[in-house]
Amino acid sequence: MEWRKLGLVFAPPSDLSWAKTHAALPAIDPGGDRVFWSGRDGGGRAHVGSFDLDPSDPSRVVRVSPRAALGPGPPGSFDESGVTVSCVVRNEGRLCLFYTGWSLGVTVPFYLSAGLALSEDGGLTFRRASEAPLLDRSGADPYLTASPWVILDEGRWRMWYVSGTRWEAGPDGLRHFYNIRYAESRDGLRWERSGRIAIDYQSPEEHAFSRPCVVKDGDRYRMWYSFRGDAYRLGYAESADGLVWERRDAAAGLAPSRDGFDSEMVAYPCVFDRRGRRYMLYNGNGYGRTGIGLAVAVD
């Protein structure tokens, strides 16, 4: 699949107290035109906000919510140091926000855990489903869990998420290693996970994968993600069952530009369909520091 870039569509607003920098990890409401994103306050803590796209022109933002929809948790909680968007699912009239909760570490820089928050007002505000993580560390995921992408698939809740495999000391300090794994649930709250790997490292240079984005096209599952050595690049994989994946990164179809907001990296893709066209929201340089871009699939 090839993509044609439509340019930067949303820059970090900077005039919001909870979003002084960054507009990271865009995720669209699957049943609407509201995009959720993560900005950082003056202390570097991430909050979740939203903006609305023009239904007839997804490259145009028509409204930015001035309020954060979800902020960091209280002291001592798994998400006290920030909350970053992962994906949104519609279920029984509510929006389910699957997110990553951050807490700072001592021997390692940070800990990550997957969380869930619910909205009854279309995503203007969210409340936590629990004060505890949705996916905490376990025997299957002993280091961290993060970036859950969830779909409802013929009555099953299916999740692809990031799992830490180790921390490794290097010349620039500790480096995190994480791949993409799979889990299932009957109700979206209690998840069964065995450590099954969906996307794994292919070379010694790879050490991290970004939030996956999974789309089911008929009998084919498609996954977009970013992977990195020094900087994130777009990756792509296909599967017949959502369990066994074939990496086809050369077919991802979107590379950094020669200059501009995405000249150094392409990260955090979110693929969606509107009015018969397929689009991708994504971040460029600085893990969202330069804002959110949009691309459209080329027929």
Q: What is the pLDDT of residues 6-37, one digit of tens each?
A: 999 999 998 999 999 999 999 999 999 999 99
User: Quick one: which of 119, 128, 129 has its CA closest to 50?
Assistant: 119
Residue 287 main-chain phi, psi, to 5 deg: 55, 40
Contacts of 249 (CB under 8 A, 6+ apart): 227, 233, 234, 235, 236, 237
pLDDT at position 55 is 94
pLDDT at position 172 is 83
Residue 294 main-chain phi, psi, to 5 deg: -135, 140
pTM given for the model: 0.96
What residue has token string 């505000």?
125
Mapping DSSP to helix (H, G, I), strand (E, B) and coil, where does residue 159 land? strand
Tokens of 129: 């489903």
Residues of the chain with pLDDT under 70: none
List of domains in the chain: 3-297 (2.115.10.20)
Bridge pairing between strands 191-192 and 173-185? antiparallel
pLDDT at position 89 is 98
pLDDT at position 50 is 98
CB-neighbour burial class of residue 274 (10 A; exposed 0-12, middle 13-18, buried 19+)? middle
Tokens of 3: 């993509």
> How many C-beta neighbours within 10 Å does residue 95 have?
24
